[in-house]
Chain A
């Protein structure tokens, strides 16, 4: 119902936040798809696709989402509220924890890509760890999506 009465000045930061979030989820879906396809074969090539997607699409999208989040937080003056709603806390936790795990996933995928390129290209623990981490990050952001829309109090 907030959408029906939202001031116009909130629209640009909300647009940036939603754009960043949707592209981030898209990058994670792409990376997870590639990493799962490379679970047992052609790992090096799929992992390279996943790594580049996370690095060049996912990370910038995370920053857009995060900057948009702080911007609209300020616009809505939540810093002046004593007891912030639960959904806001969920948003912060998932954004920041997810960002940390996203960065770790990028690093693991990058290291695994280099190692697999030098070796025979078969699956490795490093590559599979990157894949598992990407799945976790994706699930975290789906929880954030639920919190942002359902806004549990």
Chain B
């Protein structure tokens, strides 16, 4: 395998890690909206921790290996339109993801407290988990990831 092959593999693997995290978070959010039992919500957020690791490692890896590829391959330039679009999307995903994370972390923390205090179904917890702002941000994450894929495949302007 050449250096290009390795870089491409690691770049795509990192991107897949980000997509896996977005899929995982989406599943957890959808499942969470169907329950108001604190221990159930807490259980779901344990699954989400895997997504936290994947999105962190994946986004850094995709960026670093992507930049390295752009430098390494003569046909690409870092200032190509589709590569700049990728940088913008990367920043957008980070911003949207961190805002969504703050919203759902509040739900997770509240679920932990309520689970220890008797685990009774809670309308307050349900409202946190069913946050419309959180859902909009997660949908935005999905759209950004789709836009990434379009950008990487179609390479507009290349």
Contacts and interface: CB of A to CB of B under 8 A. Distances in A.
Interface of A: 1, 3-4, 8, 11, 14-15, 18-19, 21-23, 25-27, 29-30, 33-34, 37, 42, 45-46, 49, 52-53, 57, 142, 145-146, 148-152
A18 B145 CA distance: 12
B149 A18 contact: yes
A36 B96 CA distance: 29
A66 B43 CA distance: 33
B43 A15 contact: no
- Interface majority SS on B: helix, strand, loop or mixed? helix
A34 B40 CA distance: 13
Given A4-B73, A18-B153, A145-B12, A29 B24 contact: yes
B5 interface: yes
- Interface majority SS on A: helix, strand, loop or mixed? helix
Contacts of B149: 15, 18-19, 22
Interface residues of B, number: 36
Contacts of A151: 5
Contact of A3 (B28, B31, B155): B155
Interface of B: 1, 4-6, 8-9, 12-13, 15-16, 19-24, 27-28, 31, 40, 43-44, 46-47, 50, 54, 73, 75-76, 146, 149-150, 153-155, 158
B5 A150 contact: yes
B47 A37 contact: yes
A42 B43 contact: yes
Given A18-B153, A150-B6, A37 B20 contact: no
A46 B20 CA distance: 18
Contacts of B20: 22, 25-26, 29-30
